[in-house]
Amino acid sequence: MTTASVTTDINIGPYKIPSNAQNMIMNNFASRNGLKVELVIPEPIMSDQLKTTQWLNKEFSFENIILCSLHQLPKNKAHLSKLIENLKNATFHFAIEGVIGKGKKFLIKSSEEANFFKKADLIDSQKFNWLELYEMINK
């Protein structure tokens, strides 16, 4: 069984994380959690289907898959279902959120959480000072 880290497009939910930074985040997470990354998988840009990861699972039988964020899960329900079907035995690690789990319920819940935060209003922190941002949080 293999542990893989997966880099995706620079646009990850509310974040912009280049692939070299994604690797640093995931390697740090792996180190802190006693995991040894044995394979780094670069997914194509502008795709969230994780098809390369699913394809390589046939050869490597992934035990652990490390992603930077749950925002890297497929948005499309059919693509998410295919991912769940093909990687049902793998444990998923989301480094930024610090969430670890496996199985259909876990991945669906993680996808729902990503979709929930996608609907949140974004605040341009450049237009406010820290005191104004603090006051916004307390309202």
DSSP readout, 42-66? EPPTT--S-HHHHHHHHHH-EEEEE
C-alpha 9/C-alpha 135 separation (Å) is 34
Domains of the chain: 2-138 (3.40.50.1390)
Q: What is the pLDDT of residues 50-66, one digit of tens each?
A: 999 999 999 999 999 99
Mean pLDDT (the chain) is: 93
Residue 130: pLDDT band (50, 70, 90) is: confident
C-alpha 77/C-alpha 74 separation (Å) is 7
Residue 5 backbone dihedrals phi, psi, to 5 degrees:
-110, 145
Element holding 11 (H helix, E strand): strand 11-12
Q: What is the pLDDT of residues 18-35, one digit of tens each?
A: 999 999 999 999 999 999
Question: Mean pLDDT throughout 106-117?
Answer: 92
Q: What angle do CA 46, 48, 50 make, to 5 degrees?
A: 120
